[in-house]
Amino acid sequence: MKNKMLMLMSVAIVSLGTAAPSLADGPLKSGASFLGSTTAVVIDTPEGAIIGGVYSGPKHCWHGLASAFGDENGWKQNIVGAVLGIPIGMVFGVPYGAVHGLYHGANTGWEKPFSTDSYIVTEEK
């Protein structure tokens, strides 16, 4: 009996999840926006933390330090910028990316629920 109930609950959740995008423009627009925003926040927060900690943070910190040391294209400045900037960018990029992903998921998920734009954290321009 317990297995049947678990199976019925999982089927109900899957069927509601598949039907949720079709309600985005109908009479339940605010409910769909809330669900779209919630799912986008759940997906975009760790995605933003990974992107910020592995790519964006180290890259911006590295090139920012290289330009602060005099020449962004100089090889000495780039070596020192990489040695100092990559670890610092990873440490500070994770929380920044998580906040950026949370903000992106909440805004885009509310405006365009269940769209591909709301599930992909892009680098800020």
For the CA atoms of 16, 22, 24, 29, the dihedral, rounded to the nearest 10 degrees, stands at -70
Of the candidates 102, 90, 112, the one whose C-alpha atom is nearest the C-alpha of residue 46 is 102
pLDDT at 112: 81
Neighbouring C-beta atoms of residue 114, cutoff 10 Å: 19
Q: Residues in the chain with pLDDT < 50?
A: 27, 125
pLDDT at 17: 61
Asked if 30 and 95 count as a contact pair (C-beta separation under 8 A), the reply is: no
Asked if 92 and 16 count as a contact pair (C-beta separation under 8 A), the reply is: no
Asked if 110 and 31 count as a contact pair (C-beta separation under 8 A), the reply is: no
pTM above 0.85, yes or no: no
